[in-house]
Structure 1
Amino acid sequence: MSSRHMVIALVFLSQTAIGVLGNFSLLYHYVFLYITGCKLRSTDLIFKHLIVVNSLFILTNGVPRTMIAFGLKYFINDFGCRLILYVYRVGRGMCLGSTCLLSIFQVITISPRNSRLAKLNVQAPKYIGLSIALCWLLFMLVNIIFPLYVIGNKRNVSIRKKKNLGFCSAEIHDKRADSLYAVLLSLPDALCLGLMLWASSSMVSILYRHKQRVQHIHRISLSPRSSPESRATQTILLLLSTYVSFYIFSSILQFYIVLFENYSLWLLNMTSLFAACFPTVSPFVLLGRDSRLSMVTFSCRRNITPPSSIRYM
C-alpha cells in the first residue's frame, strides 16, 4: 500500500471514529438528562433522529471508503453495494431534512406572542412525528433510483460505460437524463436549505429584537457573561454557517461528479470527506456549548419557569 492510500485510509478512519464518538456522546447526554429527571422539549425527537441519521451517514460513508483505501476493492457484492449507497443517500437527505425541521419548529417556539407563527406554537409539537415520517418517505422515494443502476465492483459485467463510485460502479446514461435527474435530486435539498436559511435568519432577528427591548436590564447587570439571547444567536449562526459551508461545497463537488465522466479518485474522496463533516462536527458544537443548550435544543427545567417575554427551545 502506498503512503498516499494510507493517509486517505487514516483520514476516513479518524473521521468515522470521531463522528460516531460525538453522536454517541450526544445520545449519552440525552440519556443522562432523562435519568436525572430533566424535562426535555418536544423537538428532542428531531434530535434523536438527527443522531441516528448522522451515525448512519458517517458509517456508510467512512467504512467503505476506509476499506477501499486499504486496498479492499472487491469486499462487497451487488446487494451490499446498493444497500450501502441507498442508506448513504437517504441519511444525507435526512440530515438536511432534520436540520430544516429543527429550524422551523424552533422559530415557531421563540416567536413573539403577537406574531402569526406564535399561533402555531401549541399545535406544532403534535406534528413533529408526522413531519419526520414525511421527510423519511420523501428522501426514500427520491433516492430509490440509486439501487437500480449501481453494481458492486466484484461483479464482471459487460457495461460499455460505467462510473467509478469507489466501492460501487454506476452505468453512464445519456448526459441529458443525468443532468435532469441531478436537478430533480437537488430540488428537495434546495427547498430544505431555503427553509432552513429563512427560519435561522428569522430566529436571529427575533432574538436581536428581544435583546434590544431588554438591553437596559443587561446594562445594569454585574454579571460579565453574555446575555442568553446573544449565546443563542451565536449558536444558531455557528450551526448554520457550519452546515451551509460543508453542504454547499460537497454539493458542488457531487454535481461535478454526476455531470462529468472523467474525475480523479482524489475528487471522489474529497466529496465524501466534506459531505460527512457536518454530521461529525455538529455533536461537538452542541456539546461544547453545553451550558447554552437550553437556547437551541432543549432545556432542563426543574421548578424553573422561563421569562414570559420570550420562550426558548
Structure 2
Amino acid sequence: MASRDLALGVVFLVQTLAGILGNSSLLLHYLILYFTGCKFRLTDLILIHLAVANALVILSKGVPQTMAALGMTHFLDDTGCKLVFYVHRVSRDVSIGSICLLSVFQAITISPTSSRWIKFKVKAPKYVGPSIILCWSLNLMLSVMVPMHVTGKWQNSNITRKMDYDYCSAMPHVKITVSLHIALMLFHYVVFVGLMLWASSFMVFILYRHKQQVQYIHALSHRSFPGSRATQSILVLVSTFVLLCSLSSFLQFCLAFFSIHKMWLVKASALIAGCFPTVSPYILMSYDSRVPTHCLPWQQSPLCSEK
C-alpha cells in the first residue's frame, strides 16, 4: 500500500470515528435530558432524527470508504452495494430535510407573539412529528431508483463507462434519466436551501432587533434572549451545511454529469460529504447550555426550561 493511500485511509478513519462518537454522544445527551426530566425544546426531536440520519450517513459512506482506502476493495457484493448506496442517499436527504425543518421551526419559536405569528407558534408543536415522518417517507420513496444504477465492482465487467467508487460501481444513466435526475435534484436543493436561508435571515433579523431594543433598556441588558443560544447553534449549523453542501454538490455534479471519473475527485467528494455529519453534533453540543444533572425533578433549573 502506498503511503498516500495509507494517509488517506487514516484521514477517513479519523473522520468516521469522530462522526460516530459525536452523533452517539448527541443521542446520549438527549436521552439523559429526557430521563432526568429536562423539558424538551420544540426542535429537540428534529435534532434526534438529524443525529440518527448523520450517523447512518457516516456508517454507509465513511466506513466503506475507510475500508477501501485501506486496501479492502471487494468486501461488498452486488446486494451490499445497492443497500449501502440506498441507505446513504436516504439518510443524506433526511439530514438535509431535518436541517430545513430545524431552521423553520426555530424561526417560528422565536417569532414575536403578535397576532400574525401567534397561530403558528401554537400549532407548530403538533406538526413536528408528522413533518419528520413525512421527511423519512418521501426520501425512502424518492431514493428507490438509486440501487438500480449501483452494482458490485466485479459485476458487468464488459461495461466500459462504469463509475468506479473503489468498493462499488455505478452504471451509466440514459439521457432521459439524467435529465429527470437533474431536475429532481435541483428542485430538492433549491426548495430546502431556500427555506433554510429564509428562516436563517428571519432569525438574524429577530436577534438583531432584540439587541437594538435592549440597548435602551438597562434592566434587560444582562438577560439573554429566550432561545438565543439554540438559535445561534442553528444559524452556525445552517451556515456550515450550506458551505459544505455547495462544495460537495459541485463535486457530485462533476462526477455524475461531466464524465470526470478521476479517483482523487471521488475520494475528495466522499471526504467533504462526511464533514458535515461529523462536525454537526459538536456544534450542537457546544451551544446546548442545559445540564442533565440540574434537570432532576427535585433540582429543577432554569437551564432545563430554556426554549
Same fold, judged at TM 0.5 (above): yes
**Residue equivalent to 2:294:** none
How far residue 125 of structure 1 moved from its aligned partner, in angstroms, is 1.0
One-letter amino acid of the counterpart of residue 79, structure 1: T
- CA 1:83/1:49 → structure 2, altered by over 3 Å: closer, same or farther? same
250, 268, 274: which one aligns with 1:252: 250
Runs of 5+ consecutive residues of structure 1 not aligned to the other structure: 294-299
- CA 1:157/1:264 → structure 2, altered by over 3 Å: closer, same or farther? closer
Q: Deviations over 1:66-109 (max 9, x none)?
A: 11111211111111100000000111101110010011111111
How far residue 235 of structure 1 moved from its aligned partner, in angstroms, is 3.1
- CA 1:26/1:121 → structure 2, altered by over 3 Å: closer, same or farther? same
Correspondence 1:144 to 2:144: yes
One-letter amino acid of the counterpart of residue 93, structure 1: D
Deviates more, 1:228-237 or 1:87-96: 228-237
Q: Is the CA contact (8 Å cut-off) linking 2:110 and 2:226 kept in structure 1?
A: no
One-letter amino acid of the counterpart of residue 203, structure 2: M
256, 261, 264: which one aligns with 1:263: 261
**Residue equivalent to 1:280:** 278
How far residue 142 of structure 1 moved from its aligned partner, in angstroms, is 2.0
SS in 1 for 2:233: helix
Deviates more, 1:104-113 or 1:169-178: 169-178
- CA 1:229/1:187 → structure 2, altered by over 3 Å: closer, same or farther? same
How far residue 233 of structure 1 moved from its aligned partner, in angstroms, is 5.7
Q: Is the CA contact (8 Å cut-off) linking 1:39 and 1:302 kept in structure 2?
A: no
**Residue equivalent to 1:205:** 205
Matches of 2:150 and 2:303, distance apart in 1: 54
SS in 1 for 2:113: coil
**Residue equivalent to 1:297:** none
**Residue equivalent to 2:181:** 181
**Residue equivalent to 2:7:** 7
How far residue 41 of structure 1 moved from its aligned partner, in angstroms, is 2.1
SS in 1 for 2:151: strand
Matches of 2:7 and 2:100, distance apart in 1: 34
Q: Deviations over 1:112-165 (max 9, x none)?
A: 111533311111111111111111122222221110121111335432432213
280, 289, 306: which one aligns with 2:287: 289
Correspondence 1:191 to 2:159: no
> Percent sequence identity over matched residues?
50
**Residue equivalent to 1:83:** 83
- CA 1:75/1:50 → structure 2, altered by over 3 Å: closer, same or farther? same
Deviates more, 1:230-239 or 1:36-45: 230-239
Matches of 2:180 and 2:243, distance apart in 1: 25
Matches of 2:73 and 2:218, distance apart in 1: 61
Deviates more, 1:164-173 or 1:269-278: 164-173
- Structure-1-length-normalised TM-score: 0.87
Q: Is the CA contact (8 Å cut-off) linking 2:99 and 2:238 kept in structure 1?
A: no
Matches of 2:75 and 2:231, distance apart in 1: 46
Q: Is the CA contact (8 Å cut-off) linking 1:152 and 1:169 kept in structure 2?
A: yes
Runs of 5+ consecutive residues of structure 2 not aligned to the other structure: 292-296
Q: Deviations over 1:198-224 (max 9, x none)?
A: 111111111221222222335885x6x
Matches of 1:305 and 1:242, distance apart in 2: 26
- Structure-2-length-normalised TM-score: 0.89
Cα-Cα RMSD: 2.7
Q: Is the CA contact (8 Å cut-off) linking 1:182 and 1:258 kept in structure 2?
A: no
Q: Is the CA contact (8 Å cut-off) linking 1:246 and 1:277 kept in structure 2?
A: yes
How far residue 34 of structure 1 moved from its aligned partner, in angstroms, is 2.1
How far residue 170 of structure 1 moved from its aligned partner, in angstroms, is 1.6
Deviates more, 1:150-159 or 1:195-204: 150-159
SS in 1 for 2:241: helix
SS in 1 for 2:12: helix
How far residue 167 of structure 1 moved from its aligned partner, in angstroms, is 1.9
SS in 2 for 1:38: coil
**Residue equivalent to 1:68:** 68
